[in-house]
Amino acid sequence: MSRAPLPSGGPVVVTGVGAVSPLGNDAATIGAALLAGRSGVVEIAAGDACRGERQFAAPAALPSLPGRPDLPDDRLAAMCLVPCTAALADAGLDPAAAADPRRVGIVMGVGAEQLKSWEADFLAGGREVFAARRPPGLVHRLAAALCIGGPATTVAAACASSGYALAMARRWIDAGLVDACVAGGADILSPTGFAAFYNLRALSRRADDPSRASRPFDRDRDGFVMGEGGVFLVLESSLHAERRGARPRAVLAGAGMSGDAAHMVIPSADPAEASRAIALALADAGVAPADLDYVNAHAAGTPVGDVAEAAAIRLALGAAADRVPVSSTKSMSGHLVSAAAAFEALVCLVALEHQAIPPTVNLDHPDERCPLDHVAHVKRERRVDVAASNSFGFGGANLCLVLRRAA
């Protein structure tokens, strides 16, 4: 017998979180690491694609998944399935038992889904990438494994991919297309990724201490450190959550997006479009710049990117930029690429829950070209009711999300 769907309506809230990351595999562990200023960057074995004597990265340890013998061998697929399963469990939402599984959707942000397959295929002679016998796309396999019967799609917006996924999921809920949606993204370390970013001179070339290699906003920064992980959130309308007794972790109050297409890999010298994404998110959330309590910066530690973002923040916030605390947690987690935006939305949840702002570690000498209220080295305890997170992807994919403390 079919069951009537629960009613939807009201703000979109976060009711579940699942994560696999360099700083831990659950929100509590990740939060403790962030607030302690602990780095997940380590030295890893130098592979064939390594361009230096030492290779630093922020790897994630995939946990086992009890009751799921079908955990895929594909590392990227597992990096999605584990946190998706955890997020649904945290939300107390079983799509298979929902009144209508077709009212639950999934949006996955990922920039290079087939990268490992391409690499393996190239080494094997290059005959399988476009073979008809290849399995369906990852997001559809995830939906089937999770018994999600609603819309399922993938979003690719470079380093902003998982943030765009969250924004799209929120829009689906607002539009009444679904009652709940799993959204986020994942990425993995790969030889091709290392080689490509190194050749673009985007990676740090430091070879002394892994934990000090990622240095956003610091005068001596020289590029980012690659990380990996998967982070997914369960979003649903507040009324739907209330009717099924779910506890909201936060409200996803606003999203702003813009594009500039200034250059494939170099941020625009004009901060107008990046700033517009921030301003649009604040307006969508009904938040004035002076009421913002924290900005989690995209700042990956590249010489050009951090300066461009600082200018965008100052343009969007105006005089409030002198007093709104800013930090970049990529200094600890490394850059999770497609998963970065979702991970940093989780960082905002940590700030809202603990009423404390994670620091930018390694910020020994703030660059005078990045004049912001930096939270350096140690956490800052303060009231946090509203937090914003920036994500700026290659090619001009600009995004800002605003999260508000749940009532």
Catalytic center residues: 159, 298, 335
> CA-to-CA distance for 126 and 141, rounded, in angstroms?
24
* Inter-axis angle of helices 138-145 and 75-91, nearest 10: 40
| 359 and 376 Cβ atoms separated by less than 8 Å | yes
> CA-to-CA distance for 49 and 47, rounded, in angstroms?
5
Q: How far is CA 369 from the centre of its chain?
A: 26
| Tokens found for residue 182 | 């799993």
> CA-to-CA distance for 83 and 86, rounded, in angstroms?
5
Residues sharing a CB contact under 8 Å with residue 313, sequence separation 6 or more, in sequence order: 275, 278, 295, 297, 321, 326, 372, 390
Parallel, antiparallel or unpaired: strands 373-374 and 325-327:
parallel
> CA-to-CA distance for 51 and 66, rounded, in angstroms?
39
Q: Which amino acid is at 366?
A: P
Residues sharing a CB contact under 8 Å with residue 190, sequence separation 6 or more, in sequence order: 115, 116, 119
Instruction: Give the alpha-carbon dihedral of 72, 76, 77, 78, to 10 degrees.
Output: 60
